Amino acid sequence: MSKGFTFSQFNDSFILRHPDHDQEVMIPIDEDLTVNQLFEQGLHVYMKNFSAQQTRNFFIQIEQGLDPYDEVWMDGKLYRFDYTQNSKEGQEILLNVRNRFPDETIFDDDKPENILSRYESDRADYPNETFGYYSFVKVPDSIIDRFGLEYSNYDVFDQTDQSFWYALKFDKITEDVKCKIVLPLSEISEEIRNEIFQIIPFTYLARDQIFFARIHNEDKEVSSEIDMFFITIPAVVNNICEAEGLTYPFGEYRENQNLEENIMLWGAVYDTETKKIKHVKGYARFFK
Amino acid sequence: MSYPQASFGLPYAVFSPRNLSLNTLNDIYVLNREGSLERIFDNADMNATAVRTWGIQRSSTSTNSGSFGGIGSGTRINPTQNTQIAMEQFAGLRNPSEAFSGAMTFSSSLTAGSYYVPATQWSGYNTLVGYPIMGSHTNTLFTGTIGGRNATHSLTRLTNSGFANSGGFGIQMTITNTTGQYSVTATDWRRIEISYGSNNAGIPAGYPGAPYQRTLHRTQAANQYANGTLAFGTQALAAPTVSVSTSQSGSTTVYEYNVFWSGFTSTGTFVGVPFTGSNGYFGIGTHTYPASFKILL
């Protein structure tokens, strides 16, 4: 499976290219490695560079004092905006959700980077209009107890207490509250990881930046759906969507190049019961 | 049409005058390391500043000093347009044997994780916006051919970085220009040298007998000597990968040439990123500060 990549030999090296991107990677031939292993090594560097470029663009905008917001697309439609608490839109949603859920303690005025959203979707786990509040702090014991979380590591990138976030999702109609806990790869069973990587091959992803999320409710039940978040080039996601009979998140591939050029993250919703990917989401990051 | 051929190894400048008029040399070619002729100027005007500058940069230190005025071989080329200039002044010019030779300082930084981006540790020298600006270098520009591109290049990065407290560390060197794409298959540079003066603070030497110098070869893993023996460890790390790409700086397209020496698994190994230290180090421990840096062509 090449997903559109070409891997051609030139003297003592292989060159990895994709026709839709201007990046090229040269991998010296190591006689102890097979061509497949060299191809994987090339993909690793390719995705690492791609991810680094996206991150760099992000920090350039942040350094200019701009505020990020994400357009989250799914099934070819704009599904929601994610705003920072620092933004006018974020403040409006915060006011709304605080009025409806006055006893919640997740809201933190000292964290302007926290994220707010308001959306409706056809996802089974979010049947009604929903508010979301993402907090970039270590998940507190009160949340662990309330939702019956039983994970041993909540550091999203396994960085020893450096990268945490979790969300509460507020159902505007039923007033149910759910916890979306974000987890490192190590907290998902090897069996499930392998099932997902059969569909979304690990080698085509920025391998150090894969993380997961699970949804728990206050009855301490966990959803059968798992979100896997990952970074790769749009062509790979389009290829996966075609293979799985899914709609590419941004509509037709290459139709919305502004979204593809600003892709920050992809999310796949995997159903552990049907063992299928239900949706793929694209997070396109913009600034203002 | 036949071109002059080199009788010795190093690249040198030659002319291929066609349709020579009063002040027009149609093309200027350079014999590159691969032995093929590379066109440096197309329809060059001998009076042009770029041609004069090109000649000056390839003059020897001795000829590129003193007073102007001569027109013979080995006389100083006047950089000012509409001053006297002669073809013979370009005879014997040589391409440079090194690039970006200068004094480099290093620093370190920790970028906190945010908005789905992992925390990242950095050390070294960097001027690329979007990454921590660190260290300094006294000679950031080089005009000539490197990475398969004849241009004025900027040395923008020599860093050791990786996600905080995790694997994936490695050394990244980046050279940029604003005129055209690089080539991943270019062989026009051999290695970089970083010399530390009076101590190497445990950093493995580039060569036996050069204990204060670290070399990183274009074709060899970071822990491998030129003769193939290992600087440390029992197994060679992966040989460097080269990648080329573009980025935007406002309305300007920036072409990037990246070399990545991989294989470091933790912050504490070899040139691991130090977590503390007022100056930061491109390596473990302390060393004389600054270091001298150059790329050997």
Give the model confidence (pLDDT) of B61-79 as tens digits.
777 777 887 777 778 889 8
Task: Label residue B56 by pLDDT band (50, 70, 90).
Answer: confident
Q: Looking at residues B245-273, what average pLDDT do you find?
A: 73
Which residues of A are less than 8 Å from B130 in CB distance? 55-60, 63
Strands B120-126 and B149-163: antiparallel
DSSP state, B32?
Answer: -
Which residues of B are less than 8 Å from A58 in CB distance? 115, 117, 130
| Inter-chain residue contact A23 with B168, CB threshold 8 Å | no
Q: Is the pLDDT of residue B210 over 70?
A: no
3-state secondary structure of A37: helix
B12: tokens are 């040198």
Q: Does the CB of B17 have a partner CB in chain A at under 8 Å?
A: no
Q: Looking at residues B236-251, what average pLDDT do you find?
A: 87
Question: Which of A167-181, B250-264, B278-292 has the least mean pLDDT?
Answer: B278-292
Contacts of A211 by beta carbon, 8 Å cutoff, 6+ apart? A156, A157, A182, A183, A184, A185, A228, A229
A190-199 helix and A234-244 helix, angle to the nearest 10 degrees: 90
Q: Does the CB of A190 have a partner CB in chain B at under 8 Å?
A: no
* B83 touches B68 (CB < 8 A): yes
Question: Which of A209-218, B29-38, B87-96, B167-176 has the least mean pLDDT?
Answer: B29-38
Residues 151-190, chain B: which have Cβ within 8 Å of A?
Answer: 163-168, 181, 184-185
A181: tokens are 């806990």
* A12 touches A28 (CB < 8 A): yes
Q: Looking at residues B22-39, what average pLDDT do you find?
A: 63
What percent of chain B lies above the pLDDT cut of 70? Answer: 67
DSSP state, A187?
Answer: G
Q: What is the mean pLDDT of chain B?
A: 75
Question: Of A262-271, B41-50, B137-146, B263-272, which one has max mean pLDDT?
Answer: A262-271
Distance CA A114, CA A133 (A): 7
pLDDT given for residue B280 in this prediction? 37
Distance CA A74, CA A279 (A): 7
Residue of A nearest to B256 (CA): A23
pTM: 0.84
pLDDT given for residue B33 in this prediction? 59
| Inter-chain residue contact B260 with A13, CB threshold 8 Å | no
Higher-scoring residue by pLDDT: B148, B228: B148
In angstroms, what separates the C-alpha of A162 from chain B's closest C-alpha? 7
Higher-scoring residue by pLDDT: A195, B34: A195
Q: Is the pLDDT of residue B227 over 60?
A: yes
Give the model confidence (pLDDT) of B94-149 as tens digits.
778 899 999 988 777 888 877 888 888 887 889 999 899 988 899 999 988 899 99
In angstroms, what separates the C-alpha of A199 from chain B's closest C-alpha? 23
Distance CA B95, CA B98 (A): 9
Q: Does the CB of A56 have a partner CB in chain B at under 8 Å?
A: yes
**Amino acid (one-letter) located at B103:** A
Render each residue's pLDDT in chain A as its tens digit; 288 residues.
478 999 999 888 999 999 999 899 999 998 888 999 899 989 999 999 999 999 888 888 888 889 999 999 999 999 999 999 999 999 999 999 999 999 999 999 999 999 999 987 666 667 788 999 999 999 999 999 999 999 999 999 877 667 889 999 999 899 999 999 999 999 999 999 999 999 999 999 998 899 999 999 999 999 999 999 999 999 999 999 999 999 999 999 999 999 999 999 999 999 999 999 999 999 999 999
Name which of B61, B291, B71 is nearest B193 in CA terms: B291
Q: Does the CB of B37 have a partner CB in chain A at under 8 Å?
A: no
Reported ipTM exceeds the 0.90 cut: no
pLDDT given for residue A49 in this prediction? 92
